[in-house]
Amino acid sequence: MKGLAASKKRSKFGSQKLKIEFSRLGGVACENAGTFTEQIVVFTRKRAPLIGVRTWTDIHQDVKDSIISDMMHKWDIENNKENKKKKWTTANEHYKGWRSTLSATCKTYTTYDERMINRPNDLDIVEWHYLVLYFCSEEFQRISNKNSLNRQNRKIYPLTRSKAFSRLSYEQ
């Protein structure tokens, strides 16, 4: 359950804002990085629409600003243009990851009925219906197949898995 650890840590500190720092590489680099990431995922999932949106750039600016506003209320972050861009980048990455997970769930089943029966619990039926139609569309399949082919042709594989370089450099 996303956000449970973040909520637990929040209640431990009460209304005090937790400190967050970004590394020069752009990622979150501090002891609260995991909690920050969990919370930005929760706010992004709560605010960002799935219907009518194909990429992060399609999301209306007001929605992005409300995600940042939620984060500013909970975290001790310097409010400047550079940090705002870093927070949007983090939210963007996790929004893409969320949609990727939903796409993989859709791909697991072969028929429309199976996909609808096995709808993710955190989505309502209208959102899931829209996403199933989108993930099964020719346009999406063409792009997905092209991306899969590009990944197969990659010569250098990531050594750090999914952990950001900024996080690794902070931990060392």
Residue 72 lies in a domain: yes
Q: For residue 170, what pLDDT band results from cuts at 50, 70 and 90?
A: low
Number of structural domains (the chain) is 1
Residue 108 lies in a domain: yes
- Average of per-residue pLDDT across 15-21: 78
Q: Which has the minimum average pLDDT: 27-31, 89-93, 100-104?
A: 27-31
Residue 31 lies in a domain: yes
pLDDT of residue 107: 94
Residue 3 lies in a domain: no
pLDDT at 168 over 60: no
Q: For residue 13, what pLDDT band results from cuts at 50, 70 and 90?
A: low
Residue 71 lies in a domain: yes
Q: For residue 5, what pLDDT band results from cuts at 50, 70 and 90?
A: low
CA distances from 122 to 13, 52, 126, 149 (A): 28, 18, 12, 31
pLDDT of residue 103: 95
pLDDT, averaged across the chain: 83
Residue 140 lies in a domain: yes
- Alpha helix (H) ranges present in 4-60? 4-13, 33-47
- Give the domain range for residue 98: 17-153
- Average of per-residue pLDDT across 143-160: 80
- Average of per-residue pLDDT across 107-124: 95
> Are 28 and 75 spatial neighbours (Cβ–Cβ below 8 Å)?
no
> Are 77 and 87 spatial neighbours (Cβ–Cβ below 8 Å)?
yes
Residue 22 lies in a domain: yes
pLDDT of residue 48: 93
**Hey, which residues does 90 pair with through a beta bridge?**
none
Residue 2 lies in a domain: no
Q: What is the pTM of this model?
A: 0.76
